[in-house]
Chain A
Amino acid sequence: MIVTNIETVPGRDITQHLGLVQGNTVRAKHVGRDIMAGLKNIVGGELKGYTELLTDARQEATRRMVEEAESKGANAIINVRFSTSSITSGASELYVYGTAVVIA
């Protein structure tokens, strides 16, 4: 599965468009990480726990999108976009979507 966020796959021809595929996940942060974040709010710096949390969440969302594309018989997803939204103050939704295509 080739995933790109441009409208083509370099060097390959698109033979069929299969429509929108998407994946999402909603993640909450946990208390331990929140305490660390509270400390970091005094001195500044990177919140590594959150960086990992969001990376994992994005991988999960991407995996779901790829699974949907596979079930449609696609071998590439083009023009992929990511978006993040905070649904409540403790959780965020990671959403990824793109167009499933068949390339030759």
Chain B
Amino acid sequence: MGGLLTFLFLLSLGIIFGRANEKSHLKRLSAEEDQMSHIKVLSIKTLPPNLAQGGALVQGNVVIAVDYFKVIMSTIRMIFGGRLNSYETLLDRARREAIIRMQKDAESLGADAIYNARVEFSAVGQQPQKIGGAELFAYGTAVRFET
């Protein structure tokens, strides 16, 4: 009985705070993406001819935790298979956050664009079978255009 109560308590905490967090995070992400849109992020290596001398490595990372509600939802979903929507949104948010942090790093160097941008994932956490936390890491080369 106590176990069931704890489970329900954790689940409701996960639903309430997890949802609220996700909503406010998505709002902040689209605002910051607009703000950072002057720094182009490109995944190509071919450089245009009009670049100023020099370049620098820029990076951004974020470690996110998955909430209890998402864990339960995905455990249920794993019985039937199919899309794990809760993890999809989580990873999408984290990836966008990492890219924004990389853009901020580039902005602080006065760069105009980031070439060869890569995003890398690694699992951080105590239980290897579950994603306790996940790190998304974005890096690339910041360059300046010649004026």
Contacts and interface: CB of A to CB of B under 8 A. Distances in A.
Interface of A: 2-12, 29, 34, 37, 40-48, 50-51, 54-55, 58, 62, 80, 82-86, 89-90, 92
5 contacts: A3-B57, A10-B52, A10-B53, A41-B71, A82-B120
B105 to A, nearest CB: 11
B137 to A, nearest CB: 7
B26 interface: no
A4 B45 CA distance: 11
Given A5-B116, A12-B54, 6 more contacts: A4-B55, A10-B53, A37-B132, A45-B21, A51-B62, A54-B63
A41 B66 contact: yes
A25 B21 CA distance: 33
Interface of B: 10, 13-14, 17-18, 21-22, 45, 47, 51-57, 59, 61-68, 70-71, 90, 97, 115-116, 118, 120, 122-128, 132-133, 135, 137, 139-141, 143
B45 A43 contact: no
B45 A47 contact: no
A82 B140 CA distance: 11
B10 A4 contact: no
A44 B14 contact: yes
A9 B145 CA distance: 13
